Amino acid sequence: MSIDTQSEIQFEQFLTFELAGDAYGVEILKVQEIRGWEAVRKIPNTPEYVKGALNLRGSIVPIIDLRVRFHMERVEYTPVTVVIVMSVQTESTGSTVMGIVADAVSDVLDIKPGDIKTSPNLGAKIDTRYIRGMYVGKKNMVMLLDVDKLLNPDEFAQIAELPAATDWK
């Protein structure tokens, strides 16, 4: 008599959020915290999508507006606007913490890796390097982002040269 052993079905968890009415997701293991929007300190000579930085318990955290990064229409921040603080890995700077501005947080999804569709080929002029893949759920389609590629290493190097949090009053 043989015993059938059922292998465990593995899931990845993604925090989903809204941006301009569309659903996006990031790996939950990258998320450190979710904060309400608060004013940030402007950083001179940074790309337009860098809103500024927060002093988060002694660490300087650059805040990225994904609407600007993705060339979407800008909107006023509301009480449901959030900053998702994440740990990001790059080859040039190692681990760094950054925050992204999102219109609202939606849900946490359990997704089987096999259910993640590859990102569509949109031609050489469309930059899809930060798209990990697409997930079609019961309610909508979610674009899964690769947070480690949201900024290129040169951009991270510029941001990593910010002064220490103790220098910010």
- Rounded Cα distance between 120 and 97, Å, is 29
Residue 154, token pair as written in the block: 């040169």
Q: Which of 27, 31, 93, 86 is nearest to 61 (CA)?
A: 86
Q: Do the Cβ atoms of 63 and 50 come closer than 8 Å?
A: yes
Q: Where are the domains of the chain?
A: 12-162
- Rounded Cα distance between 54 and 36, Å, is 12
Amino acid at 164: A
Amino acid at 14: F
Going residue by residue through the chain (169 aa), what tens digit of pLDDT does each one get?
444 444 456 999 999 999 999 999 999 999 999 999 998 999 888 888 899 999 988 888 999 999 988 888 989 998 899 999 998 887 777 788 899 999 999 999 999 999 999 876 655 445 567 888 999 987 789 999 988 887 554 554 555 555 544 454 4
- pTM for the model: 0.81
Is the Cα dihedral 108, 59, 36, 75 positive or negative? negative
The end-to-end CA distance of the chain, in Å, is 72
Q: What share of the chain is helix, strand, coil (3-state, %, to 5)?
A: 15, 45, 45
DSSP 62-115: EEEEHHHHTTPPP----TT-EEEEEEEEETTTEEEEEEEEESEEEEEEEE-GGG
Residue 3, token pair as written in the block: 């015993």
- Return the pLDDT at 165: 47
Q: Do the Cβ atoms of 54 and 40 come closer than 8 Å?
A: yes
- Fold topology of 12-162: OB fold (Dihydrolipoamide Acetyltransferase, E2P) (2.40.50)
